[in-house]
């Protein structure tokens, strides 16, 4: 890519798949916040604050620590929404040019959208798991949560890279 060529700003509408991911991610996030508000007074003063790789609670903390999850979720949502909105600032391979820019932008934007919403879903599930354990509703998701989380965030990245390699 020559220095004289700048990345174009291309206006593209969100795809139906991106809208679906947003609806699922934001619904889970808002649902978890509403759930936390409703359940707040029922929570004991100590709740699960950290889990080991096997999904077992390895640290208990104040119930106010549960507020970290929606706060981080909101930060991730705002930050990744901004990144998603400006695909021209994303990193692309050398073969990126004017003729394939829109295809690269769309693929990159879709990947960011999926990761953003998967993160919102994961934070919502962690919040629900912590509340469930604190209220003795169950023992949590167990050893499967970490591998599912890694796959949930890793698969869209790997698929995105594979699809990106196919762009001419």
Does the pLDDT of residue 32 top 80, yes or no? yes
State the pTM of this model. 0.89
Domain ranges of the chain: 22-165
pLDDT in tens, 119-157: 999 999 999 999 999 999 988 888 889 999 999 999 999
For 80, list phi and psi in degrees, rounded to 5.
-75, -30
Q: What per-residue string of b and e applies to 28-60 under the rule 16 or more CB within 10 Å gives b? A: bbeebbeebeebeeebeeebbbebeeebebeeb
């Amino acid at each position: 890519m020559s220095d004289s060529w700048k990345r174009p700003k291309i206006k593209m509408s969100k795809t139906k798949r991106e809208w679906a991911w947003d609806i699922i991610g934001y619904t889970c996030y808002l649902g978890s916040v509403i759930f936390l508000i409703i359940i707040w007074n029922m929570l004991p003063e100590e709740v699960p604050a950290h889990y080991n790789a096997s999904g077992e609670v390895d640290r208990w903390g104040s119930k106010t620590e549960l507020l970290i999850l929606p706060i981080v979720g909101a930060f991730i949502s705002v930050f990744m929404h901004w990144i998603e909105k400006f695909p021209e600032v994303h990193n692309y391979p050398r073969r990126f040019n004017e003729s394939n820019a829109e295809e690269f932008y769309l693929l990159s934007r879709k990947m960011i959208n999926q990761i953003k919403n998967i993160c919102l879903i994961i934070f919502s599930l962690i919040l629900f798991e912590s509340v469930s354990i604190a209220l003795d509703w169950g023992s949590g998701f167990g050893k499967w949560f970490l591998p599912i989380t890694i796959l949930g965030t890793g698969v869209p990245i790997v698929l995105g890279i594979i699809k990106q390699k196919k762009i001419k």
